[in-house]
A and B are shown apart, each in its own frame.
Chain A
């Protein structure tokens, strides 16, 4: 049987490739029918919060066009909030409102929206523009405020923490810090910085930016290494608890640390990417083998 797993691979555990991730990790551990628990952010949130795991609060949900008329009721007095599709992917359709002046809304990116623009965006979400044409739910959440540690690294966007939890054991972790280049988004492909965090200690040990190791933030020169991520034990506990609640045994858990609410699970991913190995300089395969879970 080794024929399949070893053929063509010189150093078979040097890195977890896409094929092995799919065949040896995802297919045996994550059944397709459980994917909605990860893909539908609303379902993830209700499932996790029913088990006492902290998630981002929900202000309102819009499930049909009819409900959008009640937007005013929900948003009354709110000047900072986030609108996102429950089934979006890759951060598409997420609208971050940072300021409100009467009928005008300003996005975190500085764009001005009218009330009609906002209604239209919600309608787009409901109609499935961001979810491959399947009717979707628009979720409104408060705009989270980064904890001072993350704000210190980059104040103009929301940094998050990605943990890969395999068979309920945390394997590799990284912070994703936006840059001006990444347009405030914590997406490595768009130019965000990935910072490897030691799973045990919560101490940062490697930073990865544009396919190179770095030591300081390329835009504000903040030191990135040997930093202790606050609330680390809580973060790992919440990630492991999330993995235990969900029937997905190869899981990417995305978290944020809010200034006042503390660590929150933002979303989970049933097919987390493998770029984290470049950030941490470690092979997921070796870490999993060391953990004895594979």
Chain B
């Protein structure tokens, strides 16, 4: 028999080493490696899908759309176009980027879909408040100082209105502020086509594009370069409205202003810039029964999912270089945590599960199906395959070939789920086909053997407990904060190992044993008198 206390000492030393290493590595990174918390905190990203539909009748059709570009406050993470019957090309037009879908002959109902995932930033601008209007140096293209048909900056009416807004101190800042307030006070009128600057001024009411044109015209009339900005306000849901605001050129910087929503010298997080200038976001060939919509969603993701630069222990960078999806990396780094949850449920709570780490791996699979379809898919496959095994046992097959048959049926079922899921547009169900099939087959085998040897009741009890533990592991894996912590401090894996070692030496009663041995743990006082 080995000396128990020397084992305990060894265990404590190993645990201490692991925890100290975790802290040491984290400290080195925090203090020596120019660590930036901004690089690990979760970030909000947006998904935008522009769907365009029309009905063609055999003639050439062309659609165009301004596409987002990377700049100092917005960054494209991924972009995807799906338009089977069209030639899709992107090209530049002034400082803008455009996408064009074209075909020589379009028949019946057609659909093009452009999706983009982006990270954006809210920005607030400051300018030197003492700079006077005449001191403002502009380096902008001359077209941003020139009147157009819709932005009548040379009109006497506009000039007159603008002069009234010139502040006593003559500073550019106060002028901007006055102009902004003036336009903001216009009565809001819901979007009805295009409103030019002069009309907006005369009516005293306008939607976002009228206000913006008027504001641009006022600024231009006093020699400050300004331009329209078109884009989309990224609030979750479906909509058809785009948005326009303006930018004024002050000392070499374009300063954003949205008089419709009251953003003065700032641009909020959820504004997506698509183009600059007085443009139409979408254009299409006429007479095609055209329709479109924007579908927007947002979510929080760990920063590494969207950041680019390499960092110390920056395996996310390495994974990206290898072309391995970030989702996979996230799963991999969270598996030890999920496994720790399983270990706790087994050894501290005393739950029975099929397999030791099956629940952790199923939790990974549940990430794509979601918990409900995951459980439905898993339980129904196990049920069907264990029924099959009862049938197979009548054929008296040897063990391995029988398992082979079961695996085949599992795969057939996974394919069936994929077909059913896609036919009825249930993504969760379709993703059941990504389940780890060998594990599922082996679980079906174990379930079926347990049914025979220990009764249907205990097999289903174990199934229920397995699903419960899978759900817990799933919640842990899905937790954004835990993902952020694990991705930001991967050295915590050492501490996870230390926790496993601690549980591995923990000799306390499992919660279930308090019930199993309740007669011994909570002896009745009368018993002694017997």
- List the interface of chain A (C-beta within 8 A of B): 1, 4-5, 7-9, 11, 14-15, 17-20, 23-24, 28-29, 90, 92, 120, 124, 127-129, 133, 167, 189, 249, 277-278, 281-283
Say whether B507 contacts A20, CB under 8 Å: yes
Q: Would you give the shortest CB distance from B22 to chain A, in whole angstroms?
A: 20
Please state if B510 and A14 are interface contacts (CB–CB under 8 Å).
Answer: no
B456 to chain A, nearest CB (A): 14
Query: In the complex, are the beta carbons of B7 and A28 less than 8 A apart?
Result: yes
Of B73-81, B161-169, B469-477, B515-523, the one touching chain A:
B515-523
Q: Are A1 and B8 in contact (CB under 8 A)?
A: yes
Give the contact stretch, choosing among B100-108, B197-205, B394-402: B394-402
* B505 interfacial contact with A, CB 8 Å: yes
Contact (Cβ within 8 A) A278 B399: no
Check if B479 is an interface residue, CB within 8 A of chain A.
Answer: no
For A124, the closest partner residue in chain B by CB is B398
The answer for the CA separation of A1 and B517 in the assembled complex, in Å, is 26
Q: Which of B1, B396, B399, B509 contacts A9 (CB 8 A)?
A: B509
Q: How far is the CB of A278 from chain B (nearest CB, A)?
A: 6
Point out the residue from B453, B506, B516, B523 that lies within 8 Å of A19, measured CB to CB.
B506
Contact A7 B513 (CB under 8 A): no
B8 / chain A contacts, CB cutoff of 8 Å: 1, 4
Across the interface, do A28 and B506 meet the contact criterion of CB distance under 8 Å? no
Q: Which residues of B contact A249 (CB under 8 A)?
A: 1
Do B347 and A19 touch across chains, with their CB atoms under 8 A apart? yes
By the criterion CB–CB under 8 Å, are B517 and A278 in contact? yes
With a CB–CB cut-off of 8 A, which chain A residues contact B519?
278, 281
Q: How far is the CA of A84 from the CA of B296 in the complex (A)?
A: 66
Q: How far is the CA of A11 from the CA of B519 in the complex (A)?
A: 13
The reply to whether B520 and A17 form a contact with Cβ atoms under 8 Å apart is no
Q: Does A1 lie within 8 Å of B9, measured CB to CB?
A: yes
* Contact (Cβ within 8 A) B1 A14: no
Bound form: Cα–Cα A120–B523 in Å? 51
* Contact residues in B for A17 (Cβ distance below 8 Å): 507-510, 513, 517
Contact B510 A19 (CB under 8 A): yes
Q: 23 interchain pairs (CB within 8 A)?
A: A1-B8, A1-B9, A4-B506, A5-B507, A7-B508, A9-B509, A14-B521, A17-B509, A17-B517, A18-B510, A18-B513, A23-B506, A28-B7, A29-B1, A90-B453, A120-B396, A124-B398, A127-B398, A127-B399, A133-B400, A167-B1, A249-B1, A278-B517
Q: Say yes or no for B84: interface residue by CB 8 A criterion.
A: no
CB distance from B446 to the nearest CB of A (A): 12
Among B255-314, those with CB < 8 Å from A are none
Query: What separation, in Å, do the CA atoms of A283 and B11 have in the docked complex?
Result: 27
Q: Give A129 to B445 CA distance when docked, in angstroms.
A: 13
Query: How many angstroms from the CA of A249 to the CA of B1 in the assembled complex?
Result: 8
- How far is B400's CA from A128's CA once the two chains are assembled, in angstroms? 10
Inter-chain contact B1/A281, CB cutoff 8 Å: no
Q: Are B399 and A18 in contact (CB under 8 A)?
A: no
Tell me if B223 is interfacial: C-beta within 8 Å of chain A: no
Which residues of the other chain, A, contact B11 by a CB distance below 8 angstroms?
4
Asked if B94 is at the interface (CB within 8 A of a chain A CB), the reply is no
User: Please, which residues of chain B bring their CB within 8 A of the CB of A23?
Assistant: 504-507
Per-residue A-contact encoding for B494-530, CB less than 8 Å = 1, 0 else = 0000000000111111100100110111010000000
- How far is the CB of B173 from the nearest CB of chain A, in Å? 65
- With A133-B400, A281-B520 known, 20 other A-B pairs at CB within 8 A are A1-B9, A4-B507, A7-B508, A9-B509, A11-B521, A15-B517, A17-B507, A17-B509, A17-B513, A18-B350, A20-B507, A20-B509, A23-B504, A23-B505, A24-B507, A128-B399, A278-B516, A278-B517, A278-B519, A283-B520
Bound state CA distance, A281 and B400, in angstroms?
Answer: 44
* Set of chain A residues within 8 Å of B347, measured between Cβ atoms: 19
Are A92 and B453 touching (Cβ within 8 A)? yes
Give the chain B neighbours of A128 by CB distance below 8 A. Answer: 399
Interface contact A129-B398, CB-CB below 8 Å: yes
Given A28-B2, A127-B399, A189-B454, A19 contacting B521 (CB threshold 8 A): no
